Amino acid sequence: MKRLLILSWLLLILMAAAAAYAVNRLGGWQYALYRLQYGDSGMYEHRKTLFERMPDRPGAIVFLGDSQIGLCEWQEMFADLSPVLNRGISGDHVQGVLDRLDEVLRHRPEKVFLEIGVNDLLWGKTPAEIAGPYREIVQKIRQARPDGQLFLLSVLPVNKKQRALSTGNADIQALNGEIARIAKEFALPYVDLYNQLTDASGDLSPQFSSDGLHLNGLGYAMWKKQIKSYLYGS
């Protein structure tokens, strides 16, 4: 009986350790709590496996990131450029992008526009903690595509008057500071979308968003204006 009890405890410890590892790999306990609250727990795998089944598109222009990327129709916005790939996943975070980067790089992209990080803040990560895997993303893209172009986009502002959120613009600005430093370290363009989307109080302007987090059509029109020169060279 004593031996059986010991084995049972060992099994429970192993199961707890495996669960802890899995949760940490996905973004930590804050991630798990966020997902229990907001859902979309299967979105990442659904989109990731879909992307993996798509044909190779050599020389693609890739928009890579979270829902801010995923919710825009980039192919239609830049219909005269081809191919344009949307690799945004709602709820994604820096480790998630890093884990699916091989699928992006198989297209040997000519340009990559990267916007990621707000969900990490929502899950309780600090800007310094986010900077590590973010830098790994940049390193991997630069190593795989030394002749390609990589553009690091600021994380967008939020408006907590419109939506209750667990992070705010002070944290977002701190994260953008980390991203700007990484851009300087790798001699890459840093595209400041943040300051183009704020109102007089420094929040995401209601004219650009109806929920305080995601952009509407006017918001994406402003985004397009800020990156147009990087796509067309003028």
Q: How far is 62 from 151, CA to CA, in rounded Å?
A: 10
d(CA 82, CA 102): 21
Same domain, 18 and 70: no
In the prediction, which pLDDT does 14 show? 79
pLDDT at position 24, please?
54
φ, ψ of residue 79 in degrees (nearest 5): -65, -25
- CB atoms under 10 Å from CB of 191, counted, come to 21
Both 79 and 178 in one domain: the answer is yes
- In this structure, the answer to whether residues 53 and 156 fall within a common structural domain is yes
Distance CA 184, CA 173 (A): 16
Whether omega before 146 lies within 30 degrees of 0, making that bond cis, reads: no
Q: Are residues 110 and 7 in the same domain?
A: no
Same domain, 2 and 20: yes
Residues 93 and 209 placed together within one structural domain of the fold: yes
Same domain, 34 and 48: no
Distance CA 219, CA 114 (A): 17
- Look at strands 190-191 and 149-153 and give their pairing: parallel
Q: Spell out the residues 6+ positions from residue 108 whose beta carbon is closer than 8 angstroms to its own.
A: 58, 59, 60, 145, 148
What does the radius of gyration of the chain's CA atoms come to, in whole angstroms?
Answer: 19
Instruction: Say whether both 34 and 90 belong to one domain.
Output: no
Q: Which residue has the tokens 């992307």?
A: 51
**pTM for the whole thing?**
0.83
- Segments forming the whole domain that contains residue 155: 44-232
- Structurally, the chain folds into a number of domains equal to 2
Q: Which residues contact 53 (CB under 8 A, 6 or more apart)?
A: none
Return the C-alpha torsion angle 189, 151, 132, 70, nearest 10. 150
Return the C-alpha torsion angle 109, 115, 120, 121, nearest 10.
170
pLDDT for residue 132: 97
Per-residue pLDDT of the chain (234 residues; tens, 9 = 90+): 666 667 667 777 877 666 666 555 544 565 555 454 444 557 888 999 999 999 999 999 999 999 999 999 999 999 999 899 999 999 999 999 999 999 999 999 999 999 999 999 999 999 999 999 999 999 999 999 999 999 999 999 999 989 888 888 999 999 999 999 999 999 999 999 999 999 999 999 999 999 999 999 999 999 999 999 999 974
Query: 190, 184 in Cβ contact below 8 A?
Result: yes
5, two tokens = 């009890």
Tell me, yes or no, whether 94 and 48 share the same domain. yes
- What pLDDT shows up at residue 164? 86
Place of tokens 């190593």: 143
Both 67 and 29 in a single domain? no
Q: Judge if 24 and 96 occupy the same domain.
A: no
CATH number at residue 153: 3.40.50.1110
10 and 57, same domain (yes or no): no
Q: What is the pLDDT of residue 39?
A: 45
